[in-house]
């Protein structure tokens, strides 16, 4: 970490500072012990056995997809005081974008697109919030406890009113737990308290063991990664991921009540895999159960389940797909089983838990579109866990996969590599810009926290 100079600059490193590192035998010996994924010069011998033509995937008859709902989020952390840069404020913005496909496709007028018609096909819902970062607290509370309280306030006050009465993120959390007015938390967040597994009302209540105020949102455990003195982009990112999923559940549940027959005509897209990581990972089991209940409810009405998918733009699986691009035929799907993942993409030690066991509520597939673009997608299993469970690799358990890929094929965009239009629109709606945008958020924080 360089020293700051009085003129606002920073201490400069020597132009030859890297020489000792480059000459170090310790460094060379360490790197010689490692291995990385090989750059493929020929198709892997086990690739062909896992490739299927899209037309050959099992799929029941279902109505045409008429709309897409895409969800994305954006976070940014800023220093709130120039003279005290470790005082930080965190911003969060979520977006849900709806695209009516008939209107969207009719926006073409010859070789051009009518921007007015295109805009009429798209609508968006924005949810934004500010959260305390390091060295920010409410009177009488620590910064960690202030974070906990403000996360609860975010969930209590932000939501969607598209179905009449506002449904908050807290309502959605309550529904995921299948409870009425309370959420079971794993343990008290107070240091030293041994109270385990107790229900908390949605408005919060004291811990029965130590009396500390506990909020239902403590079940997310984001406070465990909160740093009172440093950056909190990690817990903020975890929180954003949960909020994106809860926003989707609000829309699915709302349609399930108001117009269940319309659910089978929708595609619900999440930017990123259908997975949750870190402290919020246990929530994925709630999502598996919830998706199963939606499917069962629709089946009882003689209706097909909605199409749900996560699309990745980066990461090991995206890199792996890119390395195989020339050997995946157009219109084909790569189905990766546990053995393939362990040996080709995400190596795991013998005896380690199966890949995806604790994080994923959808299974990954790679698809090469009709325009030779690659999509890395996750699609939920009709019932049960998508990884580490008997039968989870059977393609018959993913009856929405074929229809999902067909719709994604129809809504590609050339604006970005291997992208689809609704995700690009959701990202645009949610994005907090850098540069001037950061300066505006800094000025906002400075004015609000001025002392």
Asked, for residue 201, whether it belongs to a domain, the answer is no
Asked, for residue 364, whether it belongs to a domain, the answer is yes
User: What is the arithmetic mean of pLDDT over 5-9?
Assistant: 67
Asked, for residue 439, whether it belongs to a domain, the answer is yes
pLDDT for 63-106, tens place per residue?
999 999 999 999 999 888 777 788 899 999 999 999 999 988 88
pLDDT for 163-200, tens place per residue?
888 999 999 999 998 777 889 999 999 999 999 999 99
Asked, for residue 22, whether it belongs to a domain, the answer is no
- Looking at the structure of the chain, the number of domains it has is 1
Asked, for residue 35, whether it belongs to a domain, the answer is no
Asked, for residue 414, whether it belongs to a domain, the answer is yes
Instruction: Quote the domain boundaries for residue 341.
Output: 48-135+229-448
pTM of the model: 0.90
pLDDT for 216-270, tens place per residue?
999 999 999 999 999 999 999 999 999 999 999 999 999 999 999 999 999 999 9
Give a three-class secondary structure readout of the chain: CCCECCCCCECCCCCCCCHHHHHCHHHHHHHHCCCCCCCCCCCCCCCHHHEEEHHHCCCCCCCCCCEEEEEEEEEEEEECCCCCCCCEEEEEEEEEEEEEHHHHHCCEECCEECHHHHHHCEEEEEEEEEEECCCCCCCCCCHHHHHHHHHHHHHHHCEECCCCCCEEHHHHHHHHCCCCCEEEEEECCCCCCCCEEEEEECCCEECCCCCCEECHHHHHCHHHHCCCCCCCHHHHHHHHHHHHHHHHHHHHHHHHHHCHHHHCCEEEEEECCCECCHHHCCHHHHHHHHHHHHHHHHHHCCCCCCEEEEEECCCHHHHHHHHCHHHCCCCEEEECCHHHHHHHHCCCCCCCCCCCCCCECCEEEEEECCCCCEEEEEECCCCCCCCCCCCCCCHHHCCCHHHHHHHHHHCEECCCCCEEHHHHHHHHHHCCCCCHHHHHHHHHHHHHCCC
Asked, for residue 438, whether it belongs to a domain, the answer is yes
Asked, for residue 3, whether it belongs to a domain, the answer is no
pLDDT surpasses 60 at 1: no
pLDDT recorded at residue 447: 64
């Amino acid at each position: 970490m360089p020293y700051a100079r009085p003129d606002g600059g920073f201490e400069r490193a020597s132009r030859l500072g890297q020489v000792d590192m480059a000459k170090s035998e310790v460094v060379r010996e360490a790197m010689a012990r490692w291995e990385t994924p090989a750059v493929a010069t020929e198709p892997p011998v086990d690739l062909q056995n896992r490739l299927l033509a899209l037309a050959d995937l099992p799929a029941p008859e279902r109505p045409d997809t008429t709309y897409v709902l895409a969800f994305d989020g954006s976070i940014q952390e800023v220093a709130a005081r120039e003279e005290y840069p470790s005082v930080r404020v965190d911003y969060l913005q979520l977006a849900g974008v709806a695209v009516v496909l008939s209107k969207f496709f009719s926006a073409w007028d010859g070789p051009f697109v009518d921007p007015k018609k295109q805009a009429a096909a798209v609508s968006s819902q924005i949810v934004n919030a500010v959260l305390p970062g390091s060295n920010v607290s409410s009177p009488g509370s620590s910064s960690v406890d202030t974070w906990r309280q403000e996360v609860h306030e975010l969930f209590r006050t932000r939501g969607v009113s598209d179905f009449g009465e506002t449904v908050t993120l807290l309502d959605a959390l309550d529904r995921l737990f299948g409870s009425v007015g309370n959420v079971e938390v794993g343990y008290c967040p107070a240091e030293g308290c041994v109270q385990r597994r107790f229900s908390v009302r949605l408005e919060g209540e004291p811990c029965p063991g130590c009396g500390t105020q506990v909020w239902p949102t403590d079940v997310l455990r984001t406070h465990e990664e909160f740093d009172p003195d440093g950056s909190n982009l990690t817990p903020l990112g975890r929180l954003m991921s949960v909020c994106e999923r809860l926003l989707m559940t609000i829309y699915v549940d709302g349609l399930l009540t108001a117009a269940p027959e319309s659910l089978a005509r929708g595609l619900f897209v999440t930017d990123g895999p259908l997975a949750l990581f870190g402290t919020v990972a246990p929530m994925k089991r709630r999502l598996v159960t919830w998706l199963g209940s939606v499917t069962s409810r629709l089946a009882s009405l003689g209706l097909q389940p909605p199409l749900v998918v996560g699309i990745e733009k980066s990461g090991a699986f995206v890199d792996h797909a890119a390395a195989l691009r020339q050997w995946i035929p157009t219109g084909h799907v790569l189905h990766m089983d546990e053995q393939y993942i362990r040996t080709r993409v995400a190596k795991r030690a013998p005896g380690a838990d199966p890949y995806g066991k604790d994080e994923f509520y959808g299974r990954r597939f790679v698809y090469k579109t009709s325009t030779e673009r690659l999509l890395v997608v996750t699609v939920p299993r009709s019932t049960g866990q998508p990884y580490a469970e008997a039968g989870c690799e059977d393609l018959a358990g993913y009856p929405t996969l074929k229809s999902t890929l067909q719709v994604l094929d129809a809504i590609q965009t050339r604006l970005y590599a291997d992208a689809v239009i609704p995700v690009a629109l959701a990202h645009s709606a949610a994005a907090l810009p850098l540069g001037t945008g950061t300066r505006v958020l800094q000025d906002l924080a400075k004015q609000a926290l001025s002392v």
